[in-house]
Amino acid sequence: MTETKNPPLTPELYDYVLAHNPPLDPVQRELVDVTHQRLAAEAGMQSAQEQGPLLAFLVRLTGARLVVEVGTFTGFSALSMAQALPADGRLITCDVSEEWTAYGREAWAKAGVDDRIDLRIAPALDTLRALPAEPHIDLAYVDADKENYVAYWEELVPRMRPGGLIVADNVLFGGKVTDPAATGNPAAIRRFNDHVAADARMESVMVTVADGLTLARRRAE
């Protein structure tokens, strides 16, 4: 049995982690709170609080100027990444819900980054396929319907510049990916994880942040 060094993530330990990460700014905090208050049944779709600072860190680390996000929900992750972009940077975010993304639009305007965010309401595969085919994306974040993760990956990888980074959320799916009898979303994520691990175009690592993140870098040709 492989030994894990991960301690149990108790509420106290989780609070400790959050206290030692960059704090959410007032607009981010308000958006997180409003999402949980008004969309309680769906709030679990929001990226975890610690992922906001992490995504912002990755934007700065990669020097990203063009970010593509698949799955906006109420816009917390888009807000976090847009705030880390340079003033002339651009974030294209894809969703199908005008209702949910309306919360994001309001928060982006409050934070003064709405001019950096291009929200496209349409099936994400249509949006991705309409992007230029050549490598030009610096960073992509995938957090949407799990059945299409492989399809999103296949549209994104050829469009990533060498060294560009894809971040995929929910790759552990609550631990259900280890159940070979699981169907639906856990099975879709398992297929995605196997697909990523076998893709020679990318160098990837899976980390146990929140519900699991895969970080994959486009190799130089």
Domain with 117 in it: 11-218
- Determine, yes or no, domain membership for 120: yes
Predicted model pTM: 0.96
Q: What is the pLDDT of residue 1?
A: 65
Q: First vs last Cα of the chain: how many Å apart?
A: 38
**137 touches 69 (CB < 8 A):** no
Q: What is the pLDDT of residue 100?
A: 97
Residue 193, pLDDT > 70, answer yes
Give pLDDT tens digits for 14-37: 999 999 999 999 999 999 999 999
- Determine, yes or no, domain membership for 84: yes
CATH code of residue 173 = 3.40.50.150
SS3 119: strand
- Determine, yes or no, domain membership for 3: no
How big is the chain by its Cα radius of gyration, in Å? Answer: 17
What are the CA-CA distances from residue 184 to residues 15, 98, 112, 125 (Å)?
32, 26, 39, 20
Based on the structure, what is the number of domains in the chain? 1
- Determine, yes or no, domain membership for 6: no
- Determine, yes or no, domain membership for 2: no
- Determine, yes or no, domain membership for 128: yes
- Determine, yes or no, domain membership for 5: no
State the chain's mean pLDDT as an integer. 96
Give pLDDT tens digits for 65-102: 999 999 999 999 999 999 999 999 999 999 999 999 99
Mean pLDDT of 128-135: 97
- Determine, yes or no, domain membership for 16: yes
- Residues near 108 by beta carbon (within 8 Å), at least 6 away in sequence: 75, 78, 79, 82, 114, 117
